[in-house]
Amino acid sequence: MKRYVCAAAVIAAGLGLGLGASAQNGPSPAKYAVEIRQSIYTLIGANFGPIGAILKGDKAYDAAEVQKRLSRIAFLAPMLDEAFPEISNVGEPETKAKPEIWANRADFDKKLKAMQAAVKDLVEVNNRDKADNEAFKTAAMALGQACKNCHDTYRAK
């Protein structure tokens, strides 16, 4: 077994970036943590985009599209729990995440949890009705508001 492990290690090293070595060969741990966080937010924002467009009346409600977008947001939102390690408190311009996040961690976590709860609510409402009705709009607006509540306090302009 030991020989097998060694062989795997050699091949793994050879595969390089294919094995997620970007943390080693690429940015510093702090910068990498920021990149991971920004990636989660980019994907949440990109998948909320079509829902925002429905709210604004720019796009028609499409059940399959909304379902797909919401399932992604629901998967991504809990990943934010790990996305604010102390090491990632590096200030602008590397991050728009304000130092107040780490200074007021309990309040920040409360706002993050409120956003995650709003995601769950929206998913439930949409699963139940699958329609562009008042309940959907209210729940989607509540999610947008939960995002904004945190951004207003903890994200640099």
Would you count residue 65 as binding its own copies (CB under 8 A)? no
90 lines the binding site for its own copies (CB under 8 A) = no
Sequential DSSP letters for 1-62: -HHHHHHHHHHHHHHGGGGTTHHHHSS-HHHHHHHHHHHHHHHHHHHHHHHHHHHTTSS---
CA angle 37–90–79, rounded 5-degree value: 20
Q: Please count the other Cβ atoms lying within 10 Å of the Cβ belonging to residue 116.
A: 18
Q: How far is CA 70 from the centre of its chain?
A: 12
In a 3-state reduction of DSSP, which class is residue 155? strand
Question: Quick check: 154 binds its own copies (CB under 8 A)?
Answer: no
- Tell me the torsion sign for CA atoms 12, 13, 17, 22: positive
- Residues 18-57 vs its own copies: string with x where CB under 8 A? xxxxxx--------x--xx-xxx-xxxxxxxx-xx--xxx
**Is the CB of 23 or the CB of 90 nearer to its own copies?**
23
Q: Which stretch binds its own copies (CB under 8 A): 84-92, 99-107, 123-131, 140-148?
A: 140-148
Q: How far is the CB of 86 from its own copies (least distance, A)?
A: 17
Q: Identify the residue among 5, 60, 64, 106 touching its own copies (CB under 8 A).
A: 5
Residues that bind its own copies (CB under 8 A): 1, 4-6, 8-9, 11-13, 15-23, 32, 35-36, 38-40, 42-49, 51-52, 55-57, 72, 75, 79, 134, 137, 141, 144-148, 151
